[in-house]
Each structure stands twice: as C-alpha cells, then as structure tokens.
C-alpha cells in the first residue's frame, strides 16, 4: 500500500481536481538549505495552504518566485486530488504502476544474477 500523500508529484496525471484561488492561502518566506546569501536575503520560498483540506505545501526548488509558485500549485493540486479521491486518483494509480514495474525489474535482475552464479559454478566444475 502506498501512503496517499507521498504519492504526489507525478507528472502524467490528467484528471486532477481544480483548485480555486479563493481556497488557497499563500505566503512567501525565506527558504532553508544551502545557498548562503542568496537564500538568506530573499523570500522566494512559497508556502501554499489549501484551506478546506488543511494540506500545506512548501516549495523552494528554484531561485525564481514565479516558478516556485507554479510548482507549489502543481504539487498541491496533486495532493488535494489524492486527499479527496484516495485510491481512485490517477496519481495513486500511476504511483502503484511504477512500484509494480520497479518490483518486476528487481525480480528479473535477481534471476539474472542467479543464472550467472550457476553458470560460473558450471564453468568451475568443467575446469576440474
């Protein structure tokens, strides 16, 4: 089972719930992390809150305030969609599918490793 709110931030989701600007509360704060003076003197970190659900998103991925605002809205839209639709959300389905693909790839890699191991053992027996 995938934790619902951790599945957000997947690009190919199409059927997301629309957000109304009236439902959003936006703040600009100083970001944290590396960056020195560029980070310490500018308020380009966006904190976006969806008032009805109480979901809060903080975005400080770029130095641009406008880009951070756009990214924060995308992330919030996906999280709100997950919050209301749950397992019926496209974001959740996509995350689940990616997990399946990852497990299958891991299984195949493990099988190949076993085959290589057996092949080496056979070569050792043939040499003796």
DSSP string, 18-87: PPPGGGEEEEEE---SS-THHHHS---EEEEEETTTTEEEEE-SSS-HHHHHHHHHHHHHHHHHHHHHGG
Tens digit of each residue's pLDDT, the chain (128 residues):
445 444 555 555 466 777 888 889 999 998 877 777 767 778 889 999 999 999 999 999 888 899 999 999 989 988 888 888 888 877 788 888 889 999 999 999 999 999 999 999 998 888 87
Phi, psi of 7 (to 5 degrees): -85, -5
Enclosing domain of residue 112: 89-127
Cβ atoms within 10 Å, residue 7? 21
Count of the separate structural domains present in the chain:
2
- Together in a domain, 78 and 29: yes
Assess if residue 10 is contained within a domain.
no
- Together in a domain, 28 and 68: yes
Question: Pairing mode, if any, of strands 55-59 and 24-29?
Answer: unpaired
Cβ atoms within 10 Å, residue 103? 10
- Together in a domain, 28 and 82: yes
CATH code, 44:
3.30.160.20
* Tokens standing for residue 102: 């990852």
- Together in a domain, 27 and 67: yes
Contact 71, 48 (CB under 8 A): no
Report field, pTM of the whole predicted structure over 0.75: no
- Together in a domain, 40 and 63: yes
Assess if residue 49 is contained within a domain.
yes
DSSP class of residue 16 equals: P
């Amino acid at each position: 089972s995938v934790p619902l709110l951790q599945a957000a931030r997947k690009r190919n989701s199409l059927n997301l719930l629309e957000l109304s600007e009236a439902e959003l509360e936006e703040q600009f704060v100083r970001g944290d992390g590396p960056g020195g003076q560029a980070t310490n003197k500018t308020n380009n970190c966006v904190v976006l809150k969806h008032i009805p659900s109480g979901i809060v998103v903080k975005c400080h991925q770029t130095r641009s305030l406008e880009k951070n605002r756009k990214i924060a809205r995308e992330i919030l839209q996906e999280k709100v969609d997950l919050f209301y639709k749950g397992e019926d959300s496209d974001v959740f389905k996509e995350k689940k599918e990616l997990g399946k693909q990852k497990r299958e790839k891991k299984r195949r890699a493990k099988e190949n490793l076993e085959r290589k191991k057996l092949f080496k053992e056979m070569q050792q027996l043939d040499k003796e």
